[in-house]
RNA sequence: GGGCGCAUAGCUCAGCUGGUUUAGAGCACCGCCCUUACAAGGCGGGGGUCACUGGUUCGAAUCCAGUUGCGCCUACCA
């Protein structure tokens, strides 16, 4: 009874049906009370504003592979999903929305604005969660967390207060990164440095009571308005006479003292530097050392303030132009040099950041970093690939205090309260009613915390901390963290710090860092370039399985990935191959139950595929356990497509069509057994189609409930593999001859084999039907008496002469050419081997087994050479 | 300035601790084939002085050093 199965795999409907099924049955839900061993991953929370891009697809597919694999290996697996509130990004979105209505957030007021953001979040936010589901991810959605939800907010609050109590949080007036467009401070990590082709302007400052000038060089001439000194290196002879003198700041005509500071590099610019303590981190420190005035010339929006004289009100870059013009007019601009330097940009809006003096909250990071450094050094946490360890160490050793306050409304409000009477600051878990010092009225700090201040708690906040939950007990520490390498500092390093500080244990034991997905030209995918590939579109076109497969098969271990839309055909073709293998097996087996494999009745092909199958189980498992996911997939591909489909399924056709029920049964039992297991091995990579065909074939409820096959040493059969490789080589040789001599499949041929090796001939004789079927042969003759035909195409396989009498069919010149080519390469190989064997030092130093191998090679190659030569002679004689 | 990575077929990449490979795969290309799972396929074929230069070694695509090119990260480059 044949079943009707579509010739081409149609994933439409299949994927959604199975995802619903998995969800309805709670297969993704993890039980903290389970007696199984736990395996946990926390998702890198995407922004609530995010839409799925190809990087998310790669990142989450890798996690899904680990989760599904471990589940089938018997673990209680938890994949903890959620999102972060993305303070700046989300506020931006809602502000843009307001702008369309002609409003800004101040029109609404803080409370209304935050309400509005929540509304936005409920209606439009979190689109990505739905999108992630189409990829088939086995996340425990019942536990979905959000950094702004109640439990996570509780954790943030607790951590802030507790760090404050430990003396790790302080408030200070310091130079920070200020984004004038977002109107907030940023951490060092949030400032992206980009190389800019800028200028170095040389400006003359007149020396007081003199006709002389001192020339300084700057990349930001507008900051001169905030200058409070000129500095030179104390050892710089050129400026010795200037020290202590006064110069006149052009345009504003303020007096500036000439000071010395060893920070100044005499070789850079002119060796004299203008000092602007309020707008440059170095100058700030120099200012501290010399007690210089800090003159702030900027408003928060990047325009110049009243300290800028006639420039006040201008935008910083307009002011720069105007100042340059004015200096030029005063003949004070002496030189304009091209100058490449790196400039900090806001990672959210790409605006150029200003170093800005302001009062902010900081985390004293040193003590936390120290422990986090140890965790990686000691191997408690392993980074994959491990090349990142050096980068991690370097960053950790040079880390600076973390600016955590943000001048935003969307986020966790800082639990610090200022007394309106005595000015004392109280930091508290619960808002105090009145000042604990003087009972005065309190006002909460208006700022919110950096979004990363909530996501660094993710591995335990999502499990219910600070409450003592069953989840924390079972699932912490988590096992594997999978994330893009660009986020190592932002997030990974900080999670390690917080985990060690608050859980007194690392948050995870292994970190898998993958690369960035780029376009075919190696460019980062971005909205502005319009070169992004929409994974949902690809999933729609080719299936989610295809997207997953393609991404993984193209992902080099830890390197960036280049990908184009057409590449997704790779995945589609693969799923189609699975489908058709299923179709083949299925159409050959009636609905009766399949017998267990009878190991007594196996043919060579069966023994061989079972052996290869067990090797595949071992290598794929080993790859996954050791974070080589692409390699695992590659091995699965090779086994399934090259060995199982190309060879094994071809080899069993004869039996399947033989009509002998016993032979059919044996072949089918092995074919199904191996196919099912292969589907299990592939399930973590392509979950949908494997579920579809596995359940269809087995009648089981779900592949997710099945156990991943384990490799059995006993079933690895080297002898069978040897034999098969002879069959394979011989078949390939015959097929090559046929193809190259253009012998159509309809023309059956006879094959003559001549060999000294009875054993080899016996192997072929025992399995002659394989060769006959694969090579479309009528007969095979072994060391036969029949005359060697004059016109024949020939080859040599394992010292066995392969003769295909093809009188009238072969092109003699072509065959001569073919043999000569072959001869050439074998002769080269022989020469190389001979060189080795005549090399005394090789003979003296190389291990005996290697020498033996080379001897064997020499023997084989020279045999082959002489046989090819003989064959060539036959041909030339005949023609 | 410091660090890291990459450089193998036209393209994307394998090739782990040096010797069973006469350097592989996929895509692209060429030829034959709609052979009763699959043309989204099968079979066969062409194509590489493994970036360059030295070194270690009996032996190097593989290890070491340097050079060049590209990429990334990092930095208090006025």
pLDDT tens-digit profile of A319-366? 999 999 999 999 999 999 888 888 999 988 889 999 999 999 999 999
A739/B31 CA-to-C1' distance in Å? 8
A568/B40 CA-to-C1' distance in Å? 11
Are A687 and A551 spatial neighbours (Cβ–Cβ below 8 Å)? no
Mean pLDDT computed over A384-410: 89
Q: ipTM of the predicted structure?
A: 0.95
Examine the pLDDT at A838 and tell me if it is beyond 90: no
Q: 3-state secondary structure string, A659-725? A: CCHHHHHHHHHHHHHHHHHHHHHHCCCCHHHHHHHHHHHHCCCCHHHCCCCCCCHHHCCHHHHHHHH
Q: Which nucleotide is nearest to A564 (CA to C1')?
A: B12
Are A217 and A224 spatial neighbours (Cβ–Cβ below 8 Å)? no
Task: Strand B proximity: list residues 215-244 of A with CB under 7 Å.
Answer: 216-220, 233
Phi, psi of A219 (to 5 degrees): -95, -15
Query: Rounded to whole angstroms, how far apart are CA atoms A797 and A732?
Result: 10
A855/B32 CA-to-C1' distance in Å? 39
pLDDT at residue A269, rounded to an integer: 85
Examine the pLDDT at A397 and tell me if it is beyond 90: no
**Distance in angstroms between the alpha carbons of the first and the last residue of chain A:** 55
Torsion of CA A427, A429, A430, A433, to 10 degrees: -20
Q: Both tokens of residue A698?
A: 């087995």
**Other CB atoms closer than 10 Å to residue A172's CB: what's the count?**
12
pLDDT digits (tens, 9 = 90+) for A208-249: 888 889 999 999 999 999 999 999 999 888 888 888 899 999
Task: Strand B proximity: list residues 358-377 of A with CB under 7 Å.
Answer: none
Q: Which one-letter DSSP state was computed for residue A563? A: -
Q: Which nucleotide is nearest to A849 (CA to C1')?
A: B19
Q: How, if at all, do strands A254-260 and A229-232 pair? A: parallel
Name the protein residue, with chain letter, whose CA is nearest the C1' of B45.
A740
Examine the pLDDT at A1 and tell me if it is beyond 50: no
Q: Can you spell out the DSSP letters for A418-477? A: EETTT--EEE-SS--SS-TTT---EEE---EE-THHHHTTHHHHTTTTTS--HHHHHH-S
Query: Rounded to whole angstroms, how far apart are CA atoms A93 and A86?
Result: 10
* Whether A294 CB is under 7 Å from strand B: no
Phi, psi of A177 (to 5 degrees): -85, 125
Task: Show the CA angle centred on residue A37, arms to residues A36 and A42, nearest 5°.
Answer: 120
Mean pLDDT computed over A720-742: 92
Phi, psi of A343 (to 5 degrees): -125, 135
A554/B26 CA-to-C1' distance in Å? 9
A579/B37 CA-to-C1' distance in Å? 8
Query: Rounded to whole angstroms, how far apart are CA atoms A585 and A691?
Result: 16
pLDDT at residue A3, rounded to an integer: 52
Task: Strand B proximity: list residues 411-470 of A with CB under 7 Å.
Answer: none
Mean pLDDT computed over A613-625: 93
Are A114 and A87 spatial neighbours (Cβ–Cβ below 8 Å)? no
C-alpha closest to that of A516 among A17, A190, A58, A834: A58
Q: Both tokens of residue A819?
A: 């043999």
Query: Rounded to whole angstroms, how far apart are CA atoms A834 and A81?
Result: 62
Q: Which nucleotide is nearest to A236 (CA to C1')?
A: B78
A8/B39 CA-to-C1' distance in Å? 12
Q: Can you spell out the DSSP letters for A269-283? A: TTSEEEE-TTS-HHH
pLDDT at residue A591, rounded to an integer: 66
pLDDT at residue A588, rounded to an integer: 87
pLDDT at residue A44, rounded to an integer: 95
> What residues pair up with A247 in beta bridges, in sequence order?
A207, A256
Query: Rounded to whole angstroms, how far apart are CA atoms A575 and A564?
Result: 19
pLDDT digits (tens, 9 = 90+) for A752-796: 999 988 999 999 999 999 999 999 998 899 887 777 787 888 999
Q: Any idea which of A377-381, A555-559, A656-660, A823-827 has the lowest mean pLDDT?
A: A555-559
Q: Any idea which of A72-76, A235-239, A521-525 has the lowest mean pLDDT?
A: A521-525
Q: Which nucleotide is nearest to A9 (CA to C1')?
A: B40
C-alpha closest to that of A14 among A675, A703, A687: A687
Task: Strand B proximity: list residues 120-179 of A with CB under 7 Å.
Answer: none
pLDDT digits (tens, 9 = 90+) for A452-471: 999 999 999 999 999 999 99
pLDDT at residue A2, rounded to an integer: 43
Name the protein residue, with chain letter, whose CA is nearest the C1' of B15.
A631
Tell me the pTM.
Answer: 0.94
Are A364 and A168 spatial neighbours (Cβ–Cβ below 8 Å)? yes
Q: Which secondary-structure segment (H or E) carries A652?
A: helix A650-656
A654/B40 CA-to-C1' distance in Å? 26
Name the protein residue, with chain letter, whose CA is nearest the C1' of B42.
A646
* Whether A855 CB is under 7 Å from strand B: no
* Whether A274 CB is under 7 Å from strand B: yes
* Whether A634 CB is under 7 Å from strand B: yes
pLDDT at residue A563, rounded to an integer: 85
pLDDT at residue A391, rounded to an integer: 86
Query: Rounded to whole angstroms, how far apart are CA atoms A492 and A380?
Result: 14
pLDDT digits (tens, 9 = 90+) for A79-105: 999 999 999 999 999 999 999 999 999
A118/B1 CA-to-C1' distance in Å? 47
pLDDT digits (tens, 9 = 90+) for A262-271: 889 888 888 8
Protein-proximal positions, strand B, CB < 7 A: 2-6, 11-15, 19-20, 22, 26-27, 31-33, 35-46, 57-59, 71-78
A60/B10 CA-to-C1' distance in Å? 33
C-alpha closest to that of A121 among A60, A50, A184: A50
């Amino acid at each position: 009874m044949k079943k009707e199965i579509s010739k081409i795999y149609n994933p439409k409907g299949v994927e959604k049906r199975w995802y619903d099924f998995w969800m309805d049955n709670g297969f993704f839900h993890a039980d903290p009370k389970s007696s199984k061993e736990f395996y946990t991953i926390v998702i890198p929370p995407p922004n609530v504003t995010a839409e799925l891009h190809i990087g998310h697809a790669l990142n989450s597919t890798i996690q899904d592979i680990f989760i599904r694999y471990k589940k089938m290996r018997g673990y209680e697996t938890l994949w903890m999903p959620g999102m972060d509130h993305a303070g700046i990004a989300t506020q931006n979105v809602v502000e843009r929305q307001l702008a369309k209505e002609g409003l800004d957030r101040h029109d609404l007021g803080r409370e209304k604005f935050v309400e509005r953001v929540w509304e936005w979040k409920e209606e439009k936010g979190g689109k990505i969660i739905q999108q992630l589901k189409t990829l088939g991810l086995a996340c425990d959605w019942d536990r979905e967390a959000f950094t702004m939800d109640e439990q996570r907010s509780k954790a943030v609050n607790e951590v802030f207060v507790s760090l404050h109590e430990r003396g790790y949080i302080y408030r200070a007036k310091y130079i920070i990164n200020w984004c004038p467009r977002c109107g907030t401070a940023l951490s060092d990590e949030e400032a992206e440095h980009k190389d800019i082709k800028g200028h170095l302007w040389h400006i003359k400052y007149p020396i007081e009571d003199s006709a002389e000038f001192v020339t300084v060089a700057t990349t930001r001439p507008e900051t001169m308005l905030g200058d409070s000194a000129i500095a030179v290196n104390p050892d710089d002879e050129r400026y010795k006479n200037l020290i202590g003198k006064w110069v006149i700041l052009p345009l504003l005509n303020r007096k500036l003292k000439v000071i010395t500071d060893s920070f100044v590099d005499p070789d850079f610019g002119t060796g004299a530097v203008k000092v602007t303590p309020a707008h440059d981190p170095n100058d700030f420190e120099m200012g501290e050392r010399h007690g210089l005035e800090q003159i702030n010339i900027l408003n928060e929006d990047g325009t110049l303030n009243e300290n800028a004289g006639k420039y006040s009100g201008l935008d910083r870059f307009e002011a720069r132009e105007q100042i340059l013009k004015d200096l030029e007019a005063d003949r004070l601009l002496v030189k304009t040099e091209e100058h490449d330097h790196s400039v900090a940009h806001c990672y959210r809006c790409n605006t150029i950041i200003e170093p800005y003096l302001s009062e902010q909250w900081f985390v004293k990071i040193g003590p936390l970093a120290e422990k986090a450094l140890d965790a990686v050094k000691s191997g408690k946490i392993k980074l994959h690939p491990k090349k990142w360890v050096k980068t991690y160490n370097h960053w950790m050793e040079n880390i600076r205090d973390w600016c955590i306050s943000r001048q935003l409304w969307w986020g966790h409000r800082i639990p610090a309260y200022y007394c309106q009477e005595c000015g004392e600051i109280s930091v508290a878990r619960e808002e105090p009613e009145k000042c604990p010092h003087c009972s005065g009225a309190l006002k909460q700090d208006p700022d919110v915390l950096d979004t990363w201040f909530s996501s660094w708690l993710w591995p335990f906040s999502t499990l219910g901390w600070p409450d003592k939950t069953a989840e924390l007990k079972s699932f912490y520490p988590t096992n594997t963290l999978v994330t893009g390498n660009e986020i190592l500092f932002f997030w990974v390093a900080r999670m390690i710090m917080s985990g060690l500080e608050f859980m007194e244990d690392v948050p995870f034991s292994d970190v898998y860092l993958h690369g960035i997905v780029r376009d075919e030209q190696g460019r980062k995918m971005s909205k502005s370039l319009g070169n992004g590939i929409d994974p949902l579109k690809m999933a729609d076109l080719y299936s989610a399985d295809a997207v997953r497969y393609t991404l993984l098969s193209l992902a080099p271990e830890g390197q960036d990935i280049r990908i184009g839309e057409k590449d997704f055909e790779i995945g589609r073709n693969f799923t189609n191959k699975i489908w058709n293998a299923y179709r083949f097996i299925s159409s050959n087996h009636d609905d009766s139950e399949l017998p267990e494999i009878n190991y007594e009745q196996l043919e060579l092909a069966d023994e061989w595929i079972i052996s290869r199958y067990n090797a595949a189980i071992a290598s794929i498992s080993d790859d996954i356990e050791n974070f080589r996911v692409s390699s695992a997939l590659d091995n699965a591909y090779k086994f399934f497509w090259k060995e199982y489909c190309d060879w094994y399924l071809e080899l069993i056709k004869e039996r399947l069509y033989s009509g002998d029920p016993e032979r059919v049964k044996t072949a089918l039992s092995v074919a199904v057994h191996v196919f099912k297991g292969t589907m299990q091995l592939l399930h973590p990579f392509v979950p949908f189609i494997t579920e579809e065909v596995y359940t269809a074939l087995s009648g089981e409820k779900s592949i997710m409930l099945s156990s991943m096959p384990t490799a059995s040493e006993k079933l690895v059969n080297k002898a069978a593999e040897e034999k098969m490789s002879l069959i394979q080589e011989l078949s390939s040789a015959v097929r090559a001859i046929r193809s190259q001599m253009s012998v159509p499949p309809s023309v059956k041929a006879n094959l003559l084999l001549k060999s000294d090796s009875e054993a080899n001939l016996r192997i072929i004789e025992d399995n002659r039907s394989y060769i006959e079927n694969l090579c479309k042969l009528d007969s095979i003759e072994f060391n036969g008496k029949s005359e060697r035909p004059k016109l024949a195409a020939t080859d040599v396989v394992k010292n066995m002469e392969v003769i295909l009498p093809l009188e009238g069919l072969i092109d003699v010149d072509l065959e001569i050419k073919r043999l000569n080519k072959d001869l050439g390469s074998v002769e080269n190989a022989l020469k190389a081997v001979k060189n080795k064997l005549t090399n005394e030092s090789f003979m003296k130093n190389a291990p005996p087994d290697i020498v033996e191998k080379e001897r064997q090679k020499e023997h084989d190659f020279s045999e082959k050479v002489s046989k090819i030569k003989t064959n060539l002679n036959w041909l030339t004689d005949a023609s």
